[in-house]
Amino acid sequence: MSGASTAAAPDVSVEALVGVMADLWASVDPDPEQAVRPEAAGLPRGTGPVVRGSVEISGDWNGDVVVALDEQAARRWARAMLALDEADGVSDTDVEDVVAEMANVLGGAVKACCSAGGRLGLPVVAVDGRWDGGSAGADGAAEVATGLAWPDGGDGLFAVAVVSR
Amino acid sequence: MIALVVDDSRSMRRIVGGILRRNGFEVLEAGDGQQALDVLDARLAAGGEVPDLATVDWNMPVMDGLSFVVATRKRRELRPMALMMVTSESEQSQVVRALAAGAHEYLFKPFAEEALVAKLQLLGLAEAPTPAGAW
């Protein structure tokens, strides 16, 4: 594990984090005519277990970029990114693959906002993770965190956070 | 045309591979740089052609994308293969590193289909759009 940060946290906004997730969704949306993209929503409270993906950034700033989704939201992403039909089952492996890529893409965007760059680790996914508000259950402080939701509603917890060590 | 999609994410291999198939490519897949080298070696050993294109993620287990680029540039028989980094590493310094190592194009994740097709056009691997008004 990396040591304490010696540089300021990355200069990243809620809007930037939401924009990355919306762009990723747009790249796989099975019905682009509808142009339904996830938008910023209130920061969710911790509830049940979540699929939690994270990727470490190490360098002058050390921290994690976290994405957390409940089962319903995670399966929606998995269906879209793997082009699965409604009739197809979504396995835990499918969900882990997709959430790992979400963390990877988000991590790359955040690392680009680090003043001195850094090293992006490989994503780690826990299918029985926890969402603990802004800290995302990590041993650190959230620099920025937000919930997301699709405007067509019906989905549960979906949140992203940048956490300093 | 043949493309090798190198990414540890199955979902990203599906997305990139789908776009390439829609643009006329036969698609091979590998989950990391070493697997990709193994795919290429097996193909060459069987008398197959070198792919026209490899799309390469950066952060992968076993062998990362930059190491794969360096490894392929050292091998004369693989030099005809165009190399496109498709990665979430979006800092200018990383782009420079990849291009200096031998990558030909660089695409940031997430990307729209049009952006990948535009890169194919730059590499001469897809038809450029007909200018408006042209016959």
Question: Which ipTM did the prediction report?
Answer: 0.89
pLDDT band at B102 (very low <50, low <70, confident <90, very high): very high
Q: What is the mean pLDDT of chain B?
A: 95
Report the share of chain B in percent with pLDDT over 70: 96
Among B86, B109, B113, the residue to mutate for chain A (most A Cβ within 10 A): B109
Please, which pLDDT band fits residue A136 given cuts at 50, 70 and 90?
very low
Q: What is the CA radius of gyration of chain A?
A: 15
pLDDT at A165: 84
Contact A23 B110 (CB under 8 A): yes
Specify the pTM: 0.91
Shortest Cα–Cα distance, A112 to chain B (Å): 5
**Nearest CB neighbour to A20, from listed B9, B87, B110:** B110
* Cα–Cα distance for residue pair A117/B93, rounded to 1 Å: 9
- Matching residue, tokens 């293969």: B81
- Residue B135 pLDDT level (bands cut at 50, 70, 90): low
Residue B113: how many CA atoms within 13 Å on its side-chain side?
15
Q: What percent of chain A has pLDDT over 70?
A: 86
Positive or negative, the Cα torsion across B20, B82, B109, B36? positive
Give yes or no for residue B97 having a pLDDT over 90: yes
